[in-house]
Amino acid sequence: MSIRTQIDSCIQQVNVHDDEITATLCFDKDFLGFQGHFPQNPILPGVCLLETVLVLIQRLKGKTIYMTELINSKFFTVIIPGQMVNFDCKLDENTVIANVKIDTQRIASIKMKVSFA
């Protein structure tokens, strides 16, 4: 199973409005991203957050998407298995801005350029 397919299966709730998508995901302990990333104390790698943003924008547009440039990413705290994680992603032409939170706690901010297949 690909990482994008597994991320898609973690989606609990999705809301779409114009060029914005919000979603809640829960990455359980068996999620592929946790394998090998500190087995005794698993945390979600930042690259999984980037891939999640791509999965969500792909859902929004209905087209295969690729990141062409990571403009900025900041990771403020870790995500552990079982947490409900909220993503707010906005697409402006080929730029995506995403904010990731758990409840009101800011987890990450991401800005990237994308292209569609």
Q: In this structure, are residues 98 and 87 in contact, taking their beta carbons and an 8 Å threshold?
A: yes
Q: In the sheet where 11-17 sits, what is the strand order? A: 11-17, 20-26, 84-92, 95-102, 105-116, 65-75
Q: Could you tell me the pTM of the whole model?
A: 0.95
Distance CA 28, CA 83 (A): 8
pLDDT tens string 43-90: 999 999 999 999 999 999 999 999 999 999 999 999 999 999 999 999
Distance CA 116, CA 88 (A): 20
pLDDT at 40: 86
Distance CA 74, CA 110 (A): 7
53 or 36: which leads in pLDDT: 53
Distance CA 17, CA 79 (A): 26
* CATH code matching the domain that covers 3-116, chosen among 3.90.550.10, 3.30.420.40, 3.10.129.10, 3.40.1280.10: 3.10.129.10
Domain ranges across the chain: 3-116
**Direct distance between the N- and C-terminal alpha carbons of the chain, in angstroms, rounded to an integer:** 21
As a whole-number percent, the residues of the chain with pLDDT over 90 amount to 92
26 or 39: which leads in pLDDT: 26
- Residue 100: both structure tokens together: 């990731």
How sure is the predictor about 9, in pLDDT bands with cuts at 50, 70 and 90? very high
